[in-house]
Amino acid sequence: MGFNSKNILKKHILEVSGIQKSFNNKLLLSDIYLKLETGQIIGLFGRNGSGKSTLLKIIFGIVPALDKSIFINGISKNNVSTLLNEISYLHQNQFIPNHFSVLQTILLSVDKQKAHFVCEDDFLKSLLNQKIRDLSFGELRYLHVKLMLSNQSKFVLLDEPFSGLSPKMIEVVMLLIKENSQEKGIIVTDHNYRSVMEIATDLRILHNGKLQVINKKAELLQEGYLINSAIF
């Protein structure tokens, strides 16, 4: 068998350090360091109010953190506008204009080659002519996730991607995340912790402002994130 170097995907590395954030004089995040590589799916856990969404927003750049240092492939990306082309962020709010059709949204969000495949998606192809305002919450959330995973960014931050989805849609989104992780680095945080744990290659928990590595479910129990009945 011949060796085909074209089949070897280049690994990309995102490193963020020095993240500190306080609200109302209370320290929420303390000297956070995070490394994310393509091929990796980090499941991010933490109790409500622990700062998970804030951390993702800081990494993406829509919440400031004065001492944040961000590198992609060893190159500093602090205050670089092109960072938006390298990191995608799925937040919890609706961000597509309501008067757009699903088809318009797809064509404006992904390149022509990917747009064809997105339009052929089993859940989306019957919705192409519908306006964004007429979609159900689950349909809209699925479209959001699909667009995030179909664009050109190397890294994707997913905040509650399973919210409002049917069990069948959750299964499809889990598969999409795993497939796209071959060429992207992905962080996922969601209250549906079972689905996150099933797809994650690595686990992290935010606890008392610190980001900690989690090696097994029992550690989530020890940190008070899960109760005994929920862990198994």
Nearest Cα to 223, choosing from 27, 50, 51, 17?
A: 50
Does residue 39 lie within any of the structural domains?
A: yes
The pLDDT, as a whole number, for residue 27 is 87
Does residue 142 lie within any of the structural domains?
A: yes
- How many domains does the chain fold into? 1
Q: Name the residue with higher pLDDT: 182 or 91.
A: 182
The pLDDT, as a whole number, for residue 19 is 93
Q: Name the residue with higher pLDDT: 115 or 1.
A: 115
The pLDDT, as a whole number, for residue 224 is 63
Does residue 143 lie within any of the structural domains?
A: yes
Phi, psi of 169 (to 5 degrees): -65, -40
Sheet strand arrangement including 185-189 = 87-90, 155-159, 185-189, 41-45, 202-207, 210-214
Does residue 4 lie within any of the structural domains?
A: no
The pLDDT, as a whole number, for residue 118 is 94
Does residue 2 lie within any of the structural domains?
A: no
Please give the mean pLDDT across all residues of the chain. Answer: 87
The pLDDT, as a whole number, for residue 77 is 86
Does residue 7 lie within any of the structural domains?
A: no
The pLDDT, as a whole number, for residue 103 is 96
Does residue 57 lie within any of the structural domains?
A: yes
Note down the domain range covering 18.
Answer: 12-227
pLDDT in tens, 108-131: 999 988 899 999 999 999 999 999
Range ranked top by mean pLDDT from 66-70, 198-202, 221-225: 198-202
pLDDT in tens, 164-219: 899 999 999 999 999 999 999 999 999 998 899 999 999 999 988 999 998 876 67
The pLDDT, as a whole number, for residue 226 is 64
Does residue 188 lie within any of the structural domains?
A: yes
- Asked if residue 97 has pLDDT above 60, the reply is yes
Distances (CA, A) of 57 to 54, 89, 91, 156, 199: 5, 8, 8, 12, 22
Instruction: State the pLDDT confidence band at 8, using cuts at 50, 70 and 90.
Output: low
Q: What's the rounded Cα separation, in Å, for the pair 224 and 110?
A: 40
CATH code of the domain covering residue 115: 3.40.50.300
The pLDDT, as a whole number, for residue 179 is 95
pLDDT above 90 as % of the chain: 68
What is the mean predicted confidence (pLDDT) over 15-33?
91
